[in-house]
Amino acid sequence: MKKLSKKVGYIIKFIISLAFFSVLLTFVKSNELLAVFSNINWLFFCISFCVTLIMVVASCAKWKIILDLKSDKQSFWELFKIYLVGYFFSNILPSTIGGDVVRSYYAGKIIQNQSYSAVSVFVERFSGIFFLFLLVSVAPLFQRELYGSASVYIPACAGLLFAGIVLWIWKAENPFKVPNSIALFIFKVFHGIAEKTRLGFLLKAVLSLEKLYNTIIKKLNTLREELQIAVNAAKTDRVFLFRLIFLTVLFYLLTWVNVYTAFRTFNIEVGFVSICAIVPAVMLVAHVPVTLLGNLGYFESVFVFYFLLVGVDGAESLAMGLMLRLKMLTMGVVGYIAYLLYKQKHQLNITMDSSED
């Protein structure tokens, strides 16, 4: 039954991908898209692939400095291969196993500490997400008129809200005291109503919400504990803090360059300031998990929608998005080769029917 539900989920996501592409192809004329593809600048094509490789290297370097905090210093090349394997699982394989889970598993085998390996992957990922929350709020200052669009100011407000929640969870001595008091009061009121009215469905709904709330609080407590590891390291090791910030900032600078070079691959001139202003919002919205294979279809649609706000033609944005997709797939294929070689060397295997995310 569980396997059947997963297959149904895959089919639904595949249909959603097709739906997004269908909308794109009705919105963007095929002859316009072909005209863009016929005008390739091969120099920028190669440069664009190099930028993607540097982005992966920067992310892996950040993961390494976190992993090295509580283990012997690991070979960068070994961790880079694992990072590529994770890229394969995240962007090509239609599996319930995420790339972060794979990275955590393999690295945990190397350092013989699965718990800290998972923490290192979390901190590497979360530091980038936290910076993105801030960036999506302030980047539109490059073109302040963008704040007039709901598709920009809503992600900007959400970014500020999430960043504030993270800081509150980290800094407050007991951040969940007030929410717990409010939640307990609400659940008590609804339990009383359910008992008096004897409505079974209401009682089940309240119990479900209570269970969901407790799960969320448990995960937030785990988040707080894991954040504390990085915070303690930053307090005692300024070099670590500098490297963490530098590599995070470098990655996001490269995301701008990545989009710019992808546009230039088709000799499309888009102002770098416009790219800086709009890309953080695109990254936040485009990575909401909607479809399979690295959000196939949805990812490209978000780029087309947002770049229309800065006056870029839909066919040009779609060509750029497909260029980014090509680079993701290429890195995924390299990751697949690394996976085959790494699995054979270390005799490790991750079953495809795992329930892990």
Q: Is residue 323 part of a domain?
A: yes
Residue 261 has pLDDT above 90, yes or no: yes
Residue 147 has pLDDT above 60, yes or no: yes
More confident residue, 346 or 98: 98
Q: Is residue 24 part of a domain?
A: yes
Alpha helices in the chain (DSSP H): 2-27, 30-37, 42-67, 76-91, 99-111, 114-138, 150-171, 177-197, 200-236, 238-264, 272-286, 292-295, 298-308, 314-346
* pLDDT score at 222: 72
* Domain range enclosing 317: 2-143+237-346
Which of 23-37, 180-194, 294-308, 341-355 has the lowest average pLDDT? 341-355
User: How many folded domains does the chain comprise?
Assistant: 1
pLDDT tens-place string over residues 326-338: 999 899 899 989 8
Structure tokens at 268: 């499309």
Structure tokens at 12: 């639904």
Residue 75 has pLDDT above 80, yes or no: yes
Residue 54 has pLDDT above 80, yes or no: yes
Task: Return d(Cα 197, Cα 192) in angstroms, integer.
Answer: 9
Mean pLDDT of the chain: 83
Q: Is residue 112 part of a domain?
A: yes
* pLDDT score at 294: 64
Which of 121-130, 255-264, 339-348 has the lowest average pLDDT? 339-348
* pLDDT score at 49: 97
pLDDT band at 275 (very low <50, low <70, confident <90, very high): very high
pLDDT tens-place string over residues 218-233: 877 776 776 676 667 7
* pLDDT score at 157: 92
* pLDDT score at 299: 85
pLDDT tens-place string over residues 182-195: 888 888 888 788 77
Q: Is residue 213 part of a domain?
A: no
Task: Return d(Cα 69, Cα 45) in angstroms, integer.
Answer: 38
Q: Is residue 226 part of a domain?
A: no
Q: Is residue 43 part of a domain?
A: yes
pLDDT band at 96 (very low <50, low <70, confident <90, very high): very low
CA atoms within 13 A on the CB side of 236: 7
pLDDT band at 352 (very low <50, low <70, confident <90, very high): very low
What would the mean pLDDT of 273-292 be, rounded to a whole number?
87
Contacts of 293 (CB under 8 A, 6+ apart): 17, 91, 92, 94
Q: Is residue 80 part of a domain?
A: yes
Residue 95 has pLDDT above 60, yes or no: no
Selection from 20-29, 217-226, 260-269 with the highest mean pLDDT: 260-269
Task: Return d(Cα 56, Cα 62) in angstroms, integer.
Answer: 10
Residue 356 has pLDDT above 80, yes or no: no
What would the mean pLDDT of 231-251 be, rounded to a whole number?
84
pLDDT band at 290 (very low <50, low <70, confident <90, very high): confident
pLDDT band at 76 (very low <50, low <70, confident <90, very high): very high
Contacts of 328 (CB under 8 A, 6+ apart): 91, 294
Q: Is residue 314 part of a domain?
A: yes
Cβ atoms 22, 112 nearer than 8 A? no
* pLDDT score at 353: 41
Which of 77-91, 146-160, 245-259, 342-356 has the lowest average pLDDT? 342-356
- What percent of the chain shows pLDDT beyond 70? 83
pLDDT tens-place string over residues 6-16: 566 666 766 77
More confident residue, 18 or 45: 45
pLDDT band at 56 (very low <50, low <70, confident <90, very high): very high
